[in-house]
């Protein structure tokens, strides 16, 4: 039985900052950000948006009313959790009006956990093939103003339906997971911003890619020639280039040319949004399927990496109806509004964060349906504006 990704949908905030504006504000050469890091824009997060509202927006785009009733389990993968105890998935389940007889849970391992969620979902569907599992990767990548990581911020969510006989990607049996206790990126409970040893994390990422890819080839007997593309976790798009070039080296044959062209196709949407942490690999996959040279029946490799660290390499076969399962990625990115550096910084500093007191945010008129209206009695107030 084929099991895999039946459809995907993406949501981000309605605002972005250009990397030219950020570079100017930080006294850097714009080409460092545009070429050296490989980012053009990053999502700007208003205080009324967070991982719950982004996840709900992606889920709302994904599900038909019929599918809403068929979801047996919702797994929200995030490293930007808004509660140390209660699962983000419970709020999202309410906003999406899923059946009360639904299993709802949140999982975490930095940028990797969406891949774990997909593998767990595969197991659930293998046990009960009629079940549909909703996996949503949702994050706000927040490093801090004037930090080295600032240029690699971003925000958004990717919702995926994992089913039998999927329309987009049938996931193959072999996968290689690899874990080691490494301090390359972490966020202590008392901090709103991530702590990162940036250069070290890029080296660990490449090492984990090599470890998992080498073992995958040993287990399957496959080589690069068996793949039409490799999709990488993209905390910033140059990271994928570093990993691919570590494998390709001096190669410039047709396979290497195809791999490089399809990496550019994967990077296209990620350049516009910035880091989604858990969702980056899957926004990259959507971008690859929309912009790349890929055909049904071809194999796509996926490398997932979460600092701390966990990596996984796995693969899937592209299915014939894949275009129908992708939504309106390009239109959505084009519809966002540009904000200047001062507005970005104002939004950055206006987040609810670790505040304890009651807060009421002004209701936005930016078209976002699900909002964080504030906090009352230590409870976050999530509102569906279509219901008011």
- Calculate the alpha carbon distances from 152 to 78, 98, 214 in Å: 17, 34, 28
Q: Does 237 bind ligand COA (CB under 6 A)?
A: no
Q: What are phi and psi of 24, to 5 degrees?
A: -60, -45
Q: Which of 60, 150, 233, 310 is catalytic?
A: 233
Please tell me the total number of residues recorded for the chain in this structure. 388
Q: Where are the beta strands (DSSP E) in 78-203?
A: 103-107, 132-141, 154-164, 169-179, 185-186, 195-196
C-alpha torsion 377→370→12→356, nearest 10: -10
**4, 46, 59, 149: which one binds ligand COA (CB under 6 A):** 149
- Contact in structure between 98 and 74 (CB atoms under 8 Å): yes
Q: Does 220 bind ligand COA (CB under 6 A)?
A: no
Q: Which residues, at least 6 apart from 118, have a Cβ–Cβ distance to it below 8 Å? A: 5, 135, 160, 162, 171
The residue among 44 and 171 lying less far from ligand COA, judged by its C-beta, is: 44
The residue among 35 and 261 lying less far from ligand COA, judged by its C-beta, is: 35
Q: Does 152 bind ligand COA (CB under 6 A)?
A: yes
Q: Does 129 bind ligand COA (CB under 6 A)?
A: no
Q: Does 202 bind ligand COA (CB under 6 A)?
A: yes
Q: Does 155 bind ligand COA (CB under 6 A)?
A: no
Active site residue 79: yes
| Cα–Cα distance measured from residue 364 to residue 53, given in angstroms and rounded to the nearest whole number | 13
Which range of residues in 61-69, 99-107, 195-203, 360-368 is near ligand COA by CB under 6 A? 195-203
Which range of residues in 62-70, 100-108, 163-171, 200-208 is near ligand COA by CB under 6 A? 200-208
Pair of tokens at residue 218? 């040993």
Kind and range of the H or E element at 290? helix 280-291
**201, 267, 291, 319: which one binds ligand COA (CB under 6 A):** 201
Active site residue 173: no
**14, 25, 144, 198: which one binds ligand COA (CB under 6 A):** 198
| Cα–Cα distance measured from residue 282 to residue 326, given in angstroms and rounded to the nearest whole number | 11
Min CB(262)–ligand COA separation in Å: 20
Active site residue 378: no
| Cα–Cα distance measured from residue 257 to residue 265, given in angstroms and rounded to the nearest whole number | 13
Q: What are phi and psi of 335, to 5 degrees?
A: -80, -5
Q: Does 235 bind ligand COA (CB under 6 A)?
A: yes
Greatest Cα-to-Cα distance within the chain, rounded to the nearest angstrom: 62
Size of the site for ligand COA (CB under 6 A): 20
Site string for ligand COA, 10-39 (x = CB under 6 A): -------------------x-xx--xxx--
**Which residues bind to ligand COA, rule: CB under 6 A?**
29, 31-32, 35-37, 148-149, 151-152, 196, 198-199, 201-202, 205, 235-236, 239, 307
Enzyme catalytic residues: 79, 111, 233
């Amino acid at each position: 039985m084929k099991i895999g990704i039946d459809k995907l949908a993406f949501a981000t905030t309605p605002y972005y900052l250009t990397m030219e504006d950020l570079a100017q504000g930080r006294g850097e050469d714009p080409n460092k950000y545009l070429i050296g890091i490989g980012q053009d824009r990053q999502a700007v997060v208003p205080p009324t948006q967070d991982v719950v509202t982004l996840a709900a927006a992606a889920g709302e785009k994904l599900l038909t009313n019929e599918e809403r009733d068929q979801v047996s389990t919702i797994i929200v993968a995030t490293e930007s959790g808004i509660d140390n105890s209660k699962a983000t998935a419970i709020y999202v389940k309410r906003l999406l009006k899923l059946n009360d007889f639904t299993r709802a849970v949140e999982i975490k391992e930095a940028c990797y956990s969406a891949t774990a969620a997909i593998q767990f979902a595969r197991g659930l569907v293998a046990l009960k093939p009629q079940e549909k599992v909703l996996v949503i990767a949702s994050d706000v990548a927040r490093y801090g103003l004037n930090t080295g990581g600032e240029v690699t911020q971003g925000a958004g969510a990717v919702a995926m339906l994992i089913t039998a006989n999927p329309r987009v990607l049938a996931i193959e049996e072999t996968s290689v997971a690899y874990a080691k206790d490494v301090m390359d990126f972490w966020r202590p409970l008392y901090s709103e911003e991530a702590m990162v040893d940036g250069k070290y994390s890029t080296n660990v990422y490449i090492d984990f890619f090599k470890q998992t890819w080498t073992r995958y080839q040993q287990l399957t007997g496959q080589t690069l020639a068996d793949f039409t593309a490799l999709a990488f976790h993209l905390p910033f798009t140059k990271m994928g280039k570093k990993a691919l070039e570590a494998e390709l080296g001096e190669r410039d044959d047709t396979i290497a040319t195809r791999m490089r062209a399809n990496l550019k196709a994967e990077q296209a949407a990620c350049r516009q949004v910035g880091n989604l942490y858990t969702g980056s690999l899957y926004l990259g996959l959507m971008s690859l399927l929309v912009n790349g040279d890929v055909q049904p029946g071809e194999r796509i490799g996926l490398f997932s990496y979460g600092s701390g660290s966990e990596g996984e390499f796995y693969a899937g076969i592209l299915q014939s109806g894949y275009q129908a399962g992708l939504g309106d990625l390009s239109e959505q990115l084009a519809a966002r509004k540009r904000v200047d550096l001062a507005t970005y910084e104002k939004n950055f500093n206006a987040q609810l964060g670790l505040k304890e007191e009651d807060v009421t945010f002004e209701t936005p008129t930016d078209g976002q349906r699900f909002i964080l209206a504030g906090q009352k009695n230590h409870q976050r107030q999530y509102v569906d504006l279509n219901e008011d």
